[in-house]
Chains A and B, each alone.
Chain A
Amino acid sequence: MEGGYTGRLMVVDLTRGEASIEGYPEDFAQDFLGGFGTNNRLFSEYSHPGTDPLSPENPVILGAGPLVGTMVPGASRFMANARLPLTGAVASAGGSMGLGAHMKWSGIDHLVLTGRAKEPTLIYIEDGRVEFVPAGLLRGKGILETTRTLWGSYPGSSVLAIGPAGENEVHSSLAMIDACATLGRGGLAAVLGSKNLKAVVVKGGGGVKIANPERLQELIKGLHERLENFDMREAAAALGMIGAWPMYASQLLPYGSTEEDLRELTERFGPQAYLKLKKCRISCPSCFLADKDELVLPSTGESVYSTSFLNAAIIGCALMMRDAEEAASTLALLDDLGLDFMTLSWQAAFLLELHEHGIIGVKDAEGIPLARGAGILRELALRVAERRGEIGEAFARGWRGALELFGEENRRYTILVRNQDCLYDPRVSGLGTMEFEQIVSPRGPTSASAGSATYVPGLPEDRLRRLTARMGVGEEALGRIFSPPWGMNTGRLTRYSEDWFSLFSSLGICNRYQINRFYNAELIRDLYAAVTGVELEVGEMMDKAAAGWELYRELNDREGLGREEDLPPQAWFSDQPLWGRGGRLRDYSGNELSREDILTLLDDYYDERGRKHG
């Protein structure tokens, strides 16, 4: 291919302390587009079913698609595949910031990490050369300090690092890239920790070849013109995701909240509260709508990074924290430890439920404060990261450990699919693709299907249909999706939102709705052709994206994680509020749904995938 791909991968054997660069079969890229799809293909080559996620034999495969490292807006997404300890699933996790671009500028599309180092180690890759560096002095250090230390040692590099939670093989650990982008909910950091790998540092001094630079420039000019005309550009530029606060606020409010509660939480966590902490916005390479932040905590003057201030608002609302500073500093603590803020927040909410239902008393909590606020989350996070105490040790083994400690019968106080906590609740936001996909994703609940138009609540059907068509969905499929009795069939639409995710993640474009709203399938086909020189029809391109997702499912089928795991959580069918969520299960348009409706939608999803029995 003329551009985009380097055609090379690096294989690192941590046990032997050796690395090699080799070509990989061109059909891996041709058939699966790169990134996500090709990672899945490589994972099937380098892994064996049934491998313990925390054993040296479980490979971690990083992959950056053909558009990564170019000027295509938002093309900094890279993917990491591994079997993860929280669920046992083979996951392909997305990450951003500079790592993928530096991999490409360093001359590699994929990085395969195998084995286990004898002592804490980091690897430094620069333009295809690799150094194995002892990292004992960084052991136990938080991600922010580790990253800043490594930026000092390797100026201009991008740093993927794990914190104490990953070193201690905590199942809810994740890695961070450049201290402000998460990677791998479900324990990717534990997998890296089990390999004694503290960090991967990459610095690329080269570039990405472009097949047709003039055409690429023309297409990018069009995208920038669209940005100019975007009516929310000013709010998005100044405030990031919190600029759409009214949309998010309605989903973050605890069940049963009043207008007065909304005013109070807006004061605590809304745009004005954010502006008091904001120092500057931070972008991934090539991104034209930055979503990350550098914040300053007013009471200490400490500077911290934030994956997005919206995440601070989420935990602030979930646990009714005092103010934005408390929420932002708590989020920074969890990021520094390398813990998934959502899983830990819900584990704190689980403890509160057990306490409120008289199942545990203050003494059972081992000193963890059983009250809403930052205290419970901070204390729980420190104990889990260090595996300290009975609760810390049990919760470090994820939800399985928590339910072993407090009893399987208390699953009724959780909202889980595949032993992973749900991110979205259809009782709150209606059953769009990202709510539904939590049931069918082989990896458990993630944001993979957040790229479809159902991300935005309340759109009329004709607009939904138009926005679905832009995802390369043909007329026949549109007819099946938008049909009686549903109006819009979320089960069928989810298949295409997964393929849309696969396309973006394979080519390397950010799948966040705020970015992908600027794209359509024809434009992506043209960008792909301009960068790589490969001309495809839209249908051909979408078939390759679908093949990447299908292979992803097959990797999990062979682990025994098939359709039988697609179990909606009991809480969705209950009137009892839980974790601050509640209400009746309803579809995107607000119509009530039953368990039978969900089972029908599951059948429709698999029918649309071409799998009669999953």
Chain B
Amino acid sequence: MIHSAEKCTGCRTCQLICSLSHDGESNPSLARVILHARGLRLQAEFTPDCDECARCARYCPYGAIKKGK
């Protein structure tokens, strides 16, 4: 998965859909994407547990995540 910090607005939808669909709750700490904060700007890191289901990319309202290498 590829994250564009330029397009990211910090809404955390990626973490929220990831934990909702995989774990059944809204819990950023369970998400397979970690968001490193620098002020309000976020940089995503995908964990080894990420199965590339790509829901984060589908739901990102700002087109900041894509599936690819």
A residues in contact (CB < 8 Å) with B: 3, 69-71, 101, 105, 148, 151, 155-156, 178-180, 205-210, 213, 216-217, 220, 224, 227, 237, 280-290, 294, 305
Contact = CB atoms under 8 A, between A and B. Distances in A.
B59 interface: yes
B39 to A, nearest CB: 6
Interface residues of B, number: 25
Given A287-B11, A305-B40, A208 B26 contact: yes
Contacts of B6: 280
B27 A206 contact: yes
**Most A C-beta atoms less than 10 A away, residue of B12, B24, B40, B62:** B40
12 contacts: A105-B27, A105-B28, A156-B37, A208-B26, A209-B25, A285-B11, A285-B12, A287-B9, A288-B61, A289-B61, A290-B11, A294-B40
A155 B37 contact: yes
Given A227-B61, A305-B40, 12 more contacts: A101-B12, A151-B39, A207-B26, A213-B24, A237-B62, A280-B9, A280-B41, A283-B11, A285-B10, A286-B12, A288-B13, A290-B11
B20 interface: yes
B17 interface: yes
Nearest to A210: B25
Nearest to A293: B9
Contacts, number: 89
Contact of B21 (A217, A237, A281): A217
A151 B16 CA distance: 22
Contact of B9 (A156, A179, A210, A282): A282
Contacts of B29: 105, 205-207
5 pairs of A and B residues whose beta carbons are closest in the complex: A207-B27, A283-B11, A71-B16, A288-B61, A283-B9
B30 interface: yes
A361 to B, nearest CB: 46
A207 B17 CA distance: 12
Contacts of B11: 283-288, 290
Contacts of A220: 17, 59
Given A155-B37, A207-B25, A209-B25, A224 B10 contact: no
A28 to B, nearest CB: 22
A281 B20 CA distance: 25
Contact of B59 (A205, A224, A282): A224
Interface in B1-36: 6, 9-13, 16-17, 19-21, 24-30
A105 B30 CA distance: 12
A285 B29 CA distance: 14
Contacts of B40: 178-180, 282, 294, 305
